[in-house]
A and B are shown apart, each in its own frame.
Chain A
Amino acid sequence: MEKTKLTPEEMRAKLDVVLAEYKGEGQKALMATLQKAQGIYGYLPLAVQKRVANALNVSVAEVYGVISFYSFFSLKPKGETVFTICMGTACYVKGSQLLLEEIEKSIGISTGEVTKDGKYSISACRCVGACGLAPVILVNDDVYGRLTPEEIPAIIAKYKEA
């Protein structure tokens, strides 16, 4: 994905553009600013939080408060390849827990963790809304549906080669 290729300088420059757009707008622009900032960095480190706070003229505490409230915002970087398992009711009833366990076993980390080399992370999400394909997993932005645990190793292998 694009965000992994940006250099720190490029990320900074992109954030400058975003901050200029929302400068001085205050709290009401906070969510949108953070969403764009996370789109650039992949997560929201303290340095970015401080810059957002300065630009919008709100306190860093307010910024941190909002970030820690919403699950979409992340304080930690994710892996280069992110496995997301849908744990919505439709998927759960159709066995997504088994898919989750299979993926955890194959990658060797638990949900919410990143491998030491920063290559993979696993997360569980509420519902991607593709209930017709349940159970569903996402690998980065690719959707795989109607899965059984037996199909997981082949999917993981596909991303390990790449």
Chain B
Amino acid sequence: MDLFRAHVLVCCGTGCTSSSSPLIMDRFSDLLPTYGLDKEIKIVKTGCFGLCAEGPVVVIYPEGVMYYRVTPEDVDEIVSEHLLKGRYVQRLMTLSTAQDTSESFSADDSGFFKKQMRIALRNCGVINPEKIEEYIAHDGYQAIGKILTEKVDPMSIIATVKASGLRGRGGAGFPTGSKWEFAAKVQNDTKYVCCNADEGDPGAFMDRSVLEGDPHSIIEAMTIAGYSIGANQGYVYVRAEYPIAIERLSIAIEQAREYGLLGKNIFDSGFDFDLDIRLGAGAFVCGEETALMRSIEGKRGNPTPRPPFPAVKGLFGKPTILNNVETYANIPVIMNKGAAWFASIGTEKSKGTKVFALGGKVNNVGLVEIPMGTTVREIVFDIGGGIPNGKKFKSVQTGGPSGGCIPASLLDTPIDYDNLISVGSMMGSGGMIVMDEDTCMVDIAKFFLEFTVDESCGKCSPCRIGTKRMFEILTKITDGTGTLKDIKSLEELALALKNGSLCALGQTAANPILSTLHHFREEYMEHVVDKKCRCHVCKGLTQYYIEPNLCKKCSLCAKKCPVDCISGVVGKETYVIDSENCIKCGACMEACKFKAVVKK
């Protein structure tokens, strides 16, 4: 095997691929031979490093130097300076959001990575996901190898998973070991293992990053699950919107088959297991387990009542377990390092780590993995680097359309399943969207309701009709015609949905409203009573106004106005907006060079 003096790791996750990391790879491949470096330096295509806001990211080992926002043109300098002469390219080492420009980071000492602990993401950004050898070199397939060659008792594997305290990372947090145990105890010749990679929460991309960065860990974990419950076939249900993840998983499955790690008689143990990919087609409800199984069967993704639970009667009517990608990614490590090790991380009832997709109004947008019990404040301010442009923090939203908004007063809440529920949100799959003072909380509630109205499958009436009515009421409030009675109606409907809906989509659909009503009631009141939106987001409540003492009487605003509702005389009279006819398009505000047009 060739030995290399340096490795150049290029992030090829979706975010960095979108901002031309393939071209950076190409440029490195072109340049290294011209400098005669191709025999001593290896280029590695990796999954996501996590620091997506600063992408494309390139890391050079052994030094561990990280370069941010690299362009294909920068590659020449990296090669000629760093790789050839050992001089770092300082200008690419500074985070664009760093306050102090002298601050530069290596992969290990930046605040972004310091408080993180990578278990599920252990191989993301470290190995080439398209090479099974690299996964194996990082202890990959060791757990399944040991289990199959030593013929470990399936029930003792399940006992290990139970003892680790691992809970489902897809949202509800059901204990994974118990789920496996139910399915293992049901007698049936045919059972299935499914993986939920239909990451539907808008703003969440953890599962995609694991599939893109470390697909073999999912294959290994599903094989372990199959052996534990007595299943010989698995399905990974992936969103069609994730082409890179699908491609890398397909490659990984092929390689595992070639190596005899999938298929008949794995490790000569007599155990057969194979995997197939099924593509989703854009239906959020298919993240619900029964709906997902209907979708794999080729049907409309309508949820079905439970019981019967999938562990008894699931896919094609057979006992089935379904876990999400991040849950599986933890399994091989738990097997290798033991349940006690895993259970030593986290809080009393939530063990291990959780991956969050940190996004919205925060400096370090990206993928973070933290031990359970880390506070929201540590994530937003220490890891996330705080709020950009000196704005004030308002809220952080977790749990997507099923979750809620956590206000500034609860920033010190340690994150675990139970704490998040007690503050009116939920873990969800791991989207974490930061909002600043410019985000209107009523508008955010409306945004999520619009989503659930669209994604409700329509099977049960509380969800189908209830979400629609709630959306209509929120629209009324944001348009400025809401009444106090509307707020009461919202609360009543929310309760009806919670109690009456068939599946979790409907049961939790009101959470965005309930949590914002609870923590930000004053904003609702302003919309309804004072007819004001403090963030000037809700157009129906926003008035455009020209400050007379700032107006330079230049007429530019009047010229841009599409409905001619601004009057005045050039050079003589200040301009005035006729708010009756104003359509609130904002053209005048854009046009004014003196910032005289303001929103009120």
Chain A interface (Cβ within 8 Å of chain B)? 26-32, 34-35, 62, 65-66, 69-73, 87-94, 125-134, 136, 143, 145
CB–CB A133/B281 < 8 A: no
A-B contact count (CB 8 A): 134
> Would A32 and B279 be within 8 Å (CB), given that A69-B301, A90-B433 are in contact?
yes
CB–CB B241/A129 < 8 A: yes
- B residues less than 8 Å from A129 (CB atoms): 14-15, 199, 205, 208, 241-242
Nearest CB in chain A: distance from B148 CB, A: 29
CB–CB B361/A125 < 8 A: no
Nearest CB in chain B: distance from A8 CB, A: 25
**Residue among B240, B297, B397 making CB contact with A89, cutoff 8 Å:** B397
CB–CB B18/A130 < 8 A: yes
Report the separation of the CA atoms of residues A34 and B280 in the bound assembly, to the nearest whole angstrom. Answer: 11
Report the separation of the CA atoms of residues A133 and B357 in the bound assembly, to the nearest whole angstrom. Answer: 13
Beyond A28-B316, A66-B298, A129-B241, list 16 extra A-B contacts (CB 8 Å): A27-B299, A70-B282, A71-B281, A88-B203, A89-B201, A89-B359, A89-B447, A93-B444, A125-B241, A126-B200, A127-B203, A129-B14, A131-B357, A132-B366, A133-B18, A143-B18
- B residues less than 8 Å from A132 (CB atoms): 15, 51-53, 55, 359, 365-366
Smallest CB gap from B239: residue in A: A129
- B residues less than 8 Å from A126 (CB atoms): 200, 202, 241, 282, 284, 451
CB–CB B298/A87 < 8 A: no
CB–CB A130/B298 < 8 A: no
Nearest CB in chain A: distance from B430 CB, A: 12
Nearest CB in chain B: distance from A88 CB, A: 3
Q: Residue B332 at the A interface, CB < 8 A?
A: no
**Residue among B19, B282, B316 making CB contact with A133, cutoff 8 Å:** B19
Q: Which of B279-332 contact A (CB under 8 A)?
A: 279-284, 295-301, 316
**Residue among B18, B283, B297 making CB contact with A71, cutoff 8 Å:** B283
> Would A89 and B203 be within 8 Å (CB), given that A31-B298, A35-B240 are in contact?
yes
> Would A89 and B284 be within 8 Å (CB), given that A27-B298, A127-B204, A129-B208 are in contact?
no
**Residue among A35, A62, A91, A125 making CB contact with B279, cutoff 8 Å:** A35
Q: Residue B219 at the A interface, CB < 8 A?
A: no
**Residue among A66, A71, A131 making CB contact with B205, cutoff 8 Å:** A131
Sample (5) of A-B pairs whose CB atoms are under 8 Å apart: A28-B296, A32-B279, A89-B360, A127-B203, A131-B357
Report the separation of the CA atoms of residues A161 and B14 in the bound assembly, to the nearest whole angstrom. Answer: 28
Nearest 7 interchain pairs by C-beta: A132-B52, A90-B359, A88-B202, A70-B281, A89-B203, A143-B18, A72-B281
Q: Residue B278 at the A interface, CB < 8 A?
A: yes
Report the separation of the CA atoms of residues A89 and B284 in the bound assembly, to the nearest whole angstrom. Answer: 14
Smallest CB gap from A38: residue in B: B281
Q: Residue B533 at the A interface, CB < 8 A?
A: no
CB–CB A31/B295 < 8 A: yes
Mask for B335-365, Cβ within 8 A of A = 1, else 0? 0000000000000000000000101110001
- A residues less than 8 Å from B242 (CB atoms): 129
Smallest CB gap from A31: residue in B: B298
Nearest CB in chain A: distance from B331 CB, A: 23
> Would A93 and B433 be within 8 Å (CB), given that A71-B281, A128-B241, A134-B365 are in contact?
yes
Report the separation of the CA atoms of residues A131 and B357 in the bound assembly, to the nearest whole angstrom. Answer: 8
**Residue among A29, A32, A90, A128 making CB contact with B14, cutoff 8 Å:** A128
Nearest CB in chain B: distance from A47 CB, A: 20
CB–CB B15/A133 < 8 A: yes
- B residues less than 8 Å from A32 (CB atoms): 278-279
- A residues less than 8 Å from B439 (CB atoms): 93
Mask for B63-99, Cβ within 8 A of A = 1, else 0? 0000000000000000000000000000000000000
Q: Residue B400 at the A interface, CB < 8 A?
A: yes
Smallest CB gap from A128: residue in B: B241
**Residue among A69, A94, A127, A133 making CB contact with B457, cutoff 8 Å:** A69
Nearest CB in chain B: distance from A99 CB, A: 13
- A residues less than 8 Å from B360 (CB atoms): 89-90, 93-94, 134
- B residues less than 8 Å from A94 (CB atoms): 360-361
Report the separation of the CA atoms of residues A29 and B202 in the bound assembly, to the nearest whole angstrom. Answer: 28
Smallest CB gap from B367: residue in A: A132
Report the separation of the CA atoms of residues A89 and B433 in the bound assembly, to the nearest whole angstrom. Answer: 7
A65, A136, A143 interface centre (most CB from chain B within 10 Å): A143
**Residue among A29, A92, A131, A145 making CB contact with B298, cutoff 8 Å:** A29
Q: Residue B404 at the A interface, CB < 8 A?
A: no
**Residue among B15, B202, B282, B434 making CB contact with A130, cutoff 8 Å:** B15
Q: Residue B431 at the A interface, CB < 8 A?
A: yes
- A residues less than 8 Å from B431 (CB atoms): 89-90
Q: Which of B416-462 contact A (CB under 8 A)?
A: 431, 433-435, 439, 444, 447-448, 451, 457
CB–CB B202/A89 < 8 A: yes
**Residue among B240, B279, B365 making CB contact with A90, cutoff 8 Å:** B365
Report the separation of the CA atoms of residues A143 and B53 in the bound assembly, to the nearest whole angstrom. Answer: 15
CB–CB A131/B300 < 8 A: no
- A residues less than 8 Å from B205 (CB atoms): 127, 129-131
Report the separation of the CA atoms of residues A80 and B60 in the bound assembly, to the nearest whole angstrom. Answer: 42
- A residues less than 8 Å from B18 (CB atoms): 130, 133, 136, 143, 145
Report the separation of the CA atoms of residues A75 and B280 in the bound assembly, to the nearest whole angstrom. Answer: 17
CB–CB B202/A127 < 8 A: yes
Report the separation of the CA atoms of residues A75 and B52 in the bound assembly, to the nearest whole angstrom. Answer: 35
CB–CB A66/B361 < 8 A: no
Report the separation of the CA atoms of residues A62 and B294 in the bound assembly, to the nearest whole angstrom. Answer: 13
> Would A90 and B283 be within 8 Å (CB), given that A129-B14, A132-B15 are in contact?
no
CB–CB B433/A66 < 8 A: no
- A residues less than 8 Å from B201 (CB atoms): 89, 127
A29, A34, A132, A134 interface centre (most CB from chain B within 10 Å): A132
- B residues less than 8 Å from A34 (CB atoms): 281
